[in-house]
Amino acid sequence: MWESGGTIEYYTFSNTQVSSEAVMKRRRDDMEIVWQTPANPPERHDYIFRDGVRYVRPYYFEFICHVKNRWARKTIVDMFADEFKGRPHEYYVSAVKSGRIQVDGEMVPISYVVQPSQKISHFLHRHEPPVMAWEVSILHKEPEVLTVCKPASVPVHPCGQYRKNTIVGILQAEHDLAPLFPIHRLDRLVSGLLILARSASKADFFRQQIEAGMVHKQYVAKVIGVFPEDEQVVNVNVNYNAQEGRSTVEVESVGIGGTKLKGKAACTKFTRISTNGTHSLVLCEPVTGRTHQIRVHLQYTGHPIANDMLYLSEEVVDRSNKGLGADRAAAKSAHSLPPVHDEECYTASTENSEEDFSIDPMCTNCPNLPPKGYDGREEALWLHCVRYTGPDWTYECPYPDWAMLG
């Protein structure tokens, strides 16, 4: 069953070594698996803190998707092996045979051929990537609006592999704040002001003002070199490549032969605040809101963010087989800069963080706490949102420690 080459596999459970047979017997005798869905809210005891890193206690979760046209007419196993490469082919065979992968709520054989629009359920032992355990500090709490200082490394809302290790999830678990509606984006490695509406109607109010160009956004960045003293306006298209996880700029409006380029119009204003001759602190005011816009526009000026591994090099980092984001893969491959230790806002408590968690014999990540490829150690990108201003409102966030140039 869960043996390999005739030898029993061993797992760590509550710091004790036990065999897979014992794990399975314990699970049969003592507990019933509870499958979570997005309807299950995060709770305070879901988190484990180790050495300044916030982990999520692994949990059972049902992923649901529907068969896309390009997946159709593949076997259920081949569909998963081709489209979801984070696990080996053998895992998907076992998952189908055991009923952890189902079609329209029914078990199917491994030879089953999927058809368009069918509902696919994947029941798995979910390990979320870790994030740094910096505090999500509340700046303003109003009846309809909440503003927080978002720490770097934490996504804003559930996406990809992240669900509980998000700003929305942490605020719900630790402050019982829900529902929350983020009204603007911040990249995962970006810190600073995050505005969350506390009702759908208030979120729509902010959305209308942002879409009408009535909201002024300000960030600070620490960049390489002496940035020009005069205001710099970068008005070049930004093209985001989802496969590579990074953006590039397009200077011309048309390509070779008059073909239209793929990039979207983008404009950012930059003003130098200070410089020490090695680095400069720059005020960044994006007029548009493209993916990685500030980062790639600063690269275009010749003054990239000083610890932005993704845009300090033209090298495209291969992340396809590691399940890593481009930022994380770039950081792992970079050796040119010393590590940064920004301890701002770190006050994470170790209470209620007992390290017991269930070990699943079928799980490809167990007995480790994080998923494969994630160690939780990341630098805070030197880009920080400091202010959002609307027609009759302003919200601000303090500057980070790294903004003080020595």
**C-alpha–C-alpha distance, residues 127 and 110, integer Å:** 25
Q: Which two tokens stand for residue 166?
A: 């998000």
State the residue range of the domain holding 80.
Answer: 59-126
Same domain membership, residue 399 and residue 273: yes
Asked if the structure places residue 283 within a domain, the reply is: yes
**Is 338 part of a structural domain of the chain?**
no
Name the pTM for this structure.
Answer: 0.80
H or E segment to which residue 140 belongs: strand 137-141
Write down which residue in 101, 126, 151 finishes a domain. Answer: 126
Q: Of these residues, 78, 82, 187, 401, which one is catalytic? A: 187
Q: What is the CATH number of the domain that holds 68?
A: 3.10.290.10
Q: What is the pLDDT along the chain (406 residues), one digit of tens a residue?
A: 232 232 223 233 333 333 434 434 444 344 456 777 777 889 999 999 999 999 999 999 999 999 999 999 999 999 999 999 888 999 999 999 999 999 999 999 999 999 999 999 999 999 999 999 999 999 999 999 999 999 999 999 998 899 999 999 999 999 999 999 999 989 999 999 999 999 999 999 999 999 999 999 999 999 999 999 999 999 999 999 988 889 999 886 555 566 677 789 999 999 999 999 999 999 999 999 999 999 999 999 999 999 999 999 654 444 333 444 545 544 454 433 333 333 333 333 444 444 678 899 899 999 999 998 887 677 899 999 999 999 999 999 999 999 998 7
The 3 state secondary structure assigned to 181-210 is: EECCCCCCCCEEEEEEECCHHHHHHHHHHH
Whether 304 maps to a domain, the answer reads yes
Structure confidence by residue, pLDDT tens digits, 1-32:
232 232 223 233 333 333 434 434 444 344 45
- Residue linked to tokens 């940035």: 227
Does residue 118 belong to any structural domain of this protein? yes
Last residue of a domain, one of 126, 154, 172: 126
Let me know if residue 113 belongs to a domain. Answer: yes
Do the domain assignments include residue 51?
no
Residue 228: inside a domain: yes
Structural domains of the chain, count? 2
Answer yes or no: is 144 within a domain.
Answer: no
82 is a catalytic site residue: no
Instruction: For residues 245 and 105, state if they share a domain.
Output: no
| Domain identity same for 119 and 219 | no
137 and 60 Cβ atoms separated by less than 8 Å: no
DSSP string, 8-43: E-EEEETTEEEEHHHHHHHHHHH-----B-TTSPP-
Query: What's the CATH code of the domain at 274?
Result: 3.30.2350.10
Q: Looking at 84, 108, 126, which one is the last position of a domain?
A: 126
Q: How far apart are CA 101 and CA 123, in angstroms?
A: 6
